[in-house]
Amino acid sequence: MSDYDFDVIVIGAGPGGYVAAIRAAQLGLKTACAESRETLGGTCLNVGCIPSKAMLHASELYDEAASGKLAKLGIKATVELDLDTMHGQRRDAVKGLTGGIEYLFKKNKVEWLKGLAAFTGKDTVEVAGKSYRAKNIVIATGSSVTPLPGVEIDEKVVVSSTGALELPKVPGHLVVIGGGVIGLELGSVWKRLGAKVTVVEYLDQLLPGMDGEIRKEAAKIFKKQGMELKLSTKVTGVTVKGGKATVTVEPAAGGAAETLEADAVLVSIGRRPNTEGLALERAGLTTNKRGQIEVDHDFGTGVPGIWAIGDVVPGPMLAHKAEDEGIAVAENIAGLTGIVNHDVIPGVVYTFPEIAAVGLTEEDAKARGEVKVGKFPMMANSRAKTNHEPDGFVKVIADAKTDRVLGVHIIASVAGTMIAQAAQAMEFGATSEDIAYTCHAHPTHSEAIKEAAMAVTGKPIHI
């Protein structure tokens, strides 16, 4: 209809939003995407997933050389840290990828509406003082750092994940508040580059939500790497004076307080949906108790023509989950059938070794019925052995009656890559026997998945 400016307006150009916009345009819909950042890609590409991986990779290479690991392989080198160059290669990676999305927008004729979008009605939004009307509006505004009450983030001494990527020098002591994915990844970067790292976690184990056995093993590995872990501990205050921080902590159950002196403090206790400033009420929308926008199976909200995806809706706050939802919502808008199987969303922690999981934890699986579990240690895997990567294991959880795989959990140097096989197997409804009888190339890390699957129904060969 001529009185509509667009068929689809997507609010937000993160992994969910930009993918939704491109897919909608591919399907012949006149599409625009509203984004207030100077570059596309959202948190993930600008200050999250991508730049953190650039720093993780560079710091791993530095650590291999500086710690003497390479010398044990017969590679002797004198190592010097050039942090400015390390930051530079991170920024270059981000610049190249954000520019790539801008190119894809132009290629697919997606119009970029530069500015913050706010609803003025059920089918209209205002961006940078101009009103736009669309048949469909997709909310893909992502999430932002959850603040810690009473703790002010200045991005210099007390930093969020964004500031932790930009530290101009290696802190003598970094205190990480929160033992989740982001805290452990960024803590790992600075630990490898020479910082003392203390992780303070309110719960009794790291990595909330992951399989219990994985959480315990991860804690052992991080301790072995030199991280100090203060579990079952809460932070009661952070004060900054003279470029240093004093962190006050006490047992989560109550008890005597103690203080930690730090050069930098990373606040990483989680993320919350971005809905402020959207003026949802003008469109007739509300949020749930967690600040999320509830959607149906097709990602439709309670208001016809308004859809929502990614971190702003219930489910894991993961870029790849948002991407899949972006494709699905665009296809649903176009009259096709877009589906996301939320039971098979892999998650990865990019520490060293990596930690990856898909499906149910052993605890959740047992709560639903009888299960069989197979495990295989990476120290018995030939490729891990030759690479001097003995830490970790693969764990396969299957239904005791049907043998259908319910969950796979991996700690290994390349767990993030390995988990794709498990996710695909589960998407096809595989049994542990299906995986066990699939020929895996030798020598590869992935043979550990085969062996763990063999351990479910019989016995693995190599232990």
Residue 181 marked in a binding site: yes
Residue 418 marked in a binding site: no
Residue 124 marked in a binding site: no
Residue 204 marked in a binding site: no
Nearest one of 278, 267, 281 to 312, comparing CA atoms: 278
Residue 182 marked in a binding site: yes
Supply the residues annotated as catalytic.
Answer: 442
Residue 141 marked in a binding site: yes
Cα–Cα dist 295/292, whole Å? 9
What burial letters (b/e) apply to 140-171, b meaning 16+ CB within 10 Å? bbbbebeebeebebeeebbbbbbbbbebeebb
Residue 107 marked in a binding site: no
Residue 12 marked in a binding site: no
Residue 97 marked in a binding site: no
**Strand 371-377 versus strand 393-399 pairing type:** antiparallel
Residue 180 marked in a binding site: yes
Cα–Cα dist 200/238, whole Å? 13
- Cβ contacts of residue 286 below 8 Å, gap of 6+? 280
Residue 462 marked in a binding site: no
Residue 298 marked in a binding site: no
Residue 139 marked in a binding site: no
Residue 426 marked in a binding site: no
Residue 201 marked in a binding site: yes
Q: Are 429 and 404 in contact (CB under 8 A)?
A: yes
Name the phi and psi angles at 7, rounded to 5: -75, -40
Enumerate the β-bridge partners of residue 377.
Answer: 393
Residue 458 marked in a binding site: no
Residue 317 marked in a binding site: yes
**Strand 117-119 versus strand 124-127 pairing type:** antiparallel
Binding-site residues from annotation = 53, 141-143, 178-185, 201, 270, 311, 317-320
As annotated, the binding site for NAD(+) includes: 178-185, 201, 270
Which residue ranges make up the annotated binding site for FAD?
53, 141-143, 311, 317-320
